[in-house]
Amino acid sequence: MSVNRSSKTKTAIIKSAMELFAAHGYKGTSVRKIASKVGIRESALYNHFKNKEAIFLTVCADIFTTPFSKKNVQEDAKKGKKFLANFVVQYKLVSFDANKERLFRIMMIELLQDKTLRKNFLNEFHHHNIALLSEAFFVMMQSGLIRSSDPMFTANEFLAPLFYYRLQITLLRIDAEPTTALSTLFEKHVDFFWESVAL
């Protein structure tokens, strides 16, 4: 199988898994169902993913990862408030995306019910993302952009309201309530937070 064809198959698996997880949850989605939806044999799916949990975590990555990587955080963090604003724009786009919001709802239910998924999620996304964000705040502190403090605590303080806004969006959408009032909170959070930490 060519690299291009393999990449297309993997993308199709992730897309199909997203749709099935959103419709049936983690337990209601089997590897067989995913393979069938993609149009490949179940055995062929294992050429791309070790198991269903690996597929689930890959789907989670599209919903929970931060919009920057370790290799560019050192340089990007020197932009200070602009770095945070860019981070929040990406977080907001994912939060208001209807498909990803439905999946977020399913993911939260599954994480509450499955210890192994919960442990892997915390290791893969929460701890990893907080570490990257704390590194960004450390760079800002070293660059004289913000007051010196505990970078890990600062990262948690910055991220917690964003997660809460995202949860509010989900709760409102469950009851078909409008979410437009929340749309400006993301940008206001950046302004408020920056004023509280900037030198």
Which tens digits make up the pLDDT trace of 117-127?
A: 788 888 877 88
* Predicted confidence band of residue 2 (pLDDT cuts 50, 70, 90): low
Distance CA 76, CA 160 (A): 21
CATH architecture observed for domain 3-57: Orthogonal Bundle (1.10)
| pLDDT the model gives residue 74 | 87
Query: In terms of residues, how long is the chain?
Result: 199
| pLDDT the model gives residue 159 | 93
pLDDT digits (tens, 9 = 90+) for 30-72: 999 999 999 999 999 999 999 998 998 888 877 776 656 666 8
Among 35, 52, 23, CA closest to 114: 52
pLDDT at 3 over 80: no
pLDDT at 111 over 80: yes
25, 110 in Cβ contact below 8 A? yes
| pLDDT the model gives residue 94 | 85
For residues 184-198, give the mean pLDDT. Answer: 97
Name the CATH code of domain 65-197 (choices 1.10.3470, 1.10.4160, 1.10.357, 3.30.70).
1.10.357
Q: pTM score, two decimals? A: 0.80
pLDDT at 171 over 70: yes
Residue type, 89: V
Topology alike, domains 3-57 and 65-197: no
Question: Is the model more confident about 74 or about 195?
Answer: 195
| pLDDT the model gives residue 68 | 61
Distance CA 92, CA 185 (A): 10
Mean pLDDT of the chain: 89
Q: Where are the domains of the chain?
A: 3-57, 65-197
